[in-house]
Amino acid sequence: KRTLGILGGGQLAQMLAAAALPLGVRCVVLEPDEAAPARLVARHLRAAYTNEAALADLASCDAVTLEFENVPVEALAFLTRRVPVRPAPRLFEISRHRVLEKNAVRALGIETAPFVVLGEEDDSVSLAAVGGQGIVKTAEFGYDGKGQARVRSVEELRVARKAMNFAPSILEGLVDFVREVSVSVARSPSGEVTFSGLVENRHANGILHESVWPASSEASVASRAREIARTVAEAWELEGLLTLEFFELRSGELLVNEIAPRVHNSGHLTQDGGGPSQFEAQVRAVLDLPMLDFAPRGPSGMVNVLGWEGAEPDWSEILRLSGARLHLYHKENRPGRKLGHVNVTGSTPQEVAATMARVRNVLYTSANVE
Ligand code: ATP
Ligand code: MG
Ligand code: MG
């Protein structure tokens, strides 16, 4: 019998716990928000990250993992002294800070988007350094495109920084990519390394809308993505799973956009792809169980369910589609918020695309985009 502790009780924790159960693994989840998705499986709901009894319970697990980056450092320090925390907290410290993250990636000889740290030079110098326009991103706490603004002039840069209360930020050059792709890599403490396969991602307004596997990239791009993922996983001595987001350039070159030290929205399609899911891969890696590649076995796609403004989508329309599987997170509706996803499978990429279009029609009739 094994137990896995999970810090954070969002949808990722909920899906990790669901993937752990059939392996004979029970989960203990620590989540302060009583409305969080993992309330359905959580043992420590509404316990703060400073709650000693809850932390002690996690410390008695076989290992502890995390579903989000911003767990208080005191909680991590308490746990690391008592139980294997996987991935190690230093990975979270790097990946939750855009400057540390980009510098760590570049130190391995891997390219990132051009960027400058704002405030080190005059804004006009910073803007010129990335080509006269770019995207301001807060160094920390941003997700789903929050804490970002596209700027085309010094004036827009000033306005954007003010709107962000002059939080420590970077300015990234605008990347002219042909597509966005991502890959996840899982590595066990024994050193076994496995991959997800290359997934293609479509964003709108900085938030992921859809993913498909396999990506339409050349095979050489997919294998380079794996090698980059392997390099990072080995250099950082990963124990667990991490996901790299890339910009693919016309030349086939890959720039790392960011790294999440955990399962990722772009990997949700592995749940219904026929092999182990990314969630199972993280559980296996963290508990040092045998590892398998976790790419889907056939053409797969995913459409995110984002919060709507008008009428609720008619879920029965999704349930009627034979190639679609609905996954809802039991979260309250707020426009644009990630509330679930629909995984799609088919015998060909064309069939997947056709079903995704039907799913999109059901979800987007309520004008939840833009
Ligand atoms: P996530 O939810 O993935 O953590 P995030 O809020 O941390 O998102 P990023 O991944 O940095 O944000 O950016 C979100 C999206 O905005 C990217 O996937 C891409 O579509 C677009 N984007 C970000 N940076 C750039 C850039 N430098 N050039 C062009 N597009 C960009
Ligand atoms: Mg991010
Ligand atoms: Mg991102």
The pLDDT tens digits of the residues spanning 25-53 come to: 999 999 999 999 999 888 999 999 999 99
What's the mean per-residue pLDDT of the chain? 95
The answer on 261 and 215 residing in a single domain is yes
The answer on 331 and 201 residing in a single domain is yes
The answer on 19 and 157 residing in a single domain is no
> Does residue 6 surpass a pLDDT of 90?
yes
Percentage of the chain with pLDDT > 70?
98
Residue nearest to atom 7 of ligand 1 (CA): 143
Q: Quick one: average pLDDT of 218-227?
A: 98
C-alpha 197 – ligand 1 centre gap (Å)? 21
Residue nearest to atom 5 of ligand 1 (CA): 143
The answer on 282 and 315 residing in a single domain is yes
The Cα–Cα gap between 241 and 281 comes to 7
Q: Quick one: average pLDDT of 338-358?
A: 98
User: Which of 260, 239, 294, 215 shows the shortest CA–CA distance to 105?
Assistant: 260
Three-class secondary structure assignment of 155-210: HHHHHHHHHCCCCCEEEEECCCCCEEEEEEEEECCCCCEEECCCEEEEEECCEEEE
pLDDT at 44: 93
> Does residue 183 surpass a pLDDT of 70?
yes
pLDDT in tens, 95-150: 999 999 999 999 999 999 999 999 999 999 999 999 999 999 999 999 999 999 99
Contacts of 340 (CB under 8 A, 6+ apart): 11, 304, 305, 326, 327, 328, 329, 331
Percentage of the chain with pLDDT > 90?
94
- Boundary residue ending a domain (149, 173, 197): 173
The answer on 315 and 199 residing in a single domain is yes
pLDDT at 213: 98
The answer on 130 and 33 residing in a single domain is no
122 is in an annotated binding site: no
CATH number at residue 163: 3.30.1490.20
Residue 302 near residue 324, CB atoms below 8 Å: no
pLDDT in tens, 260-284: 999 999 999 999 999 999 999 999 9
Sequence-separated contacts (24+) of 354-359 with Cβ below 8 Å: 355/301, 355/321, 355/323, 355/324, 356/210, 356/212, 356/301, 356/303, 358/321, 358/324, 359/303, 359/318, 359/321, 359/324
pLDDT at 110: 98
pLDDT at 365: 60
Tokens 């980056």, located at residue: 69
Q: Quick one: average pLDDT of 79-90?
A: 97
The answer on 339 and 193 residing in a single domain is yes
Residue 368 near residue 306, CB atoms below 8 Å: yes
CATH number at residue 260: 3.30.470.20
Residue 5 near residue 61, CB atoms below 8 Å: yes
Residue 319 counted as domain residue: yes
Domain total for the chain? Answer: 3
The Cα–Cα gap between 81 and 188 comes to 20
250 is in an annotated binding site: no
Q: Which two tokens stand for residue 131?
A: 């080509």
- Boundary residue ending a domain (37, 66, 85): 85
User: What's the domain range around 43?
Assistant: 2-85
Q: Quick one: average pLDDT of 141-160?
A: 95
C-alpha 89 – ligand 1 centre gap (Å)? 24
Whole-number Cα distances in Å, 175 to 111, 172, 248, 278: 12, 8, 9, 28
The answer on 148 and 267 residing in a single domain is no
pLDDT at 370: 40
Q: Is the CB of 200 under 6 A from ligand 1?
A: no
Q: Which two tokens stand for residue 145?
A: 């495109």
Q: Which two tokens stand for residue 141?
A: 């706490």
The Cα–Cα gap between 49 and 55 comes to 7
Helix, strand or coil, per DSSP, at residue 354: helix
Q: Which two tokens stand for residue 298?
A: 């056939």
**What pTM was estimated for this model as a whole?**
0.96
Helix, strand or coil, per DSSP, at residue 294: coil
Shortest-distance atom of ligand 1 to CA 115: 27
C-alpha 141 – ligand 2 centre gap (Å)? 8
pLDDT at 364: 80
Span between the terminal Cα atoms of the chain, in Å: 47
Residue 142 counted as domain residue: yes
pLDDT in tens, 297-336: 999 999 999 999 989 999 999 999 999 999 999 999 999 9
pLDDT at 73: 86
Residue 95 counted as domain residue: no
Residue 370 counted as domain residue: no
Residue 90 counted as domain residue: no
The answer on 292 and 269 residing in a single domain is yes
Torsion-angle region of 298 (φ positive above 0: left; ψ -120 to 50: alpha; else: beta): beta
The Cα–Cα gap between 79 and 83 comes to 6
Residue 25 counted as domain residue: yes
CATH number at residue 64: 3.40.50.20
Give 229's pLDDT tier (boundaries 50, 70, 90): very high
The answer on 63 and 10 residing in a single domain is yes
The answer on 334 and 193 residing in a single domain is yes
Q: Is the CB of 180 under 6 A from ligand 1?
A: yes
The number of helix segments (H) and strand segments (E) in the chain equals 11, 17
Residue 355 counted as domain residue: yes
C-alpha 266 – ligand 3 centre gap (Å)? 10
- Boundary residue ending a domain (173, 196, 214): 173
258 is in an annotated binding site: yes
Residue 153 counted as domain residue: yes
Q: Is the CB of 206 under 6 A from ligand 1?
A: yes
Type of residue at 300: S
> Does residue 369 surpass a pLDDT of 60?
no
The answer on 332 and 198 residing in a single domain is yes
Type of residue at 292: L
Give 189's pLDDT tier (boundaries 50, 70, 90): very high
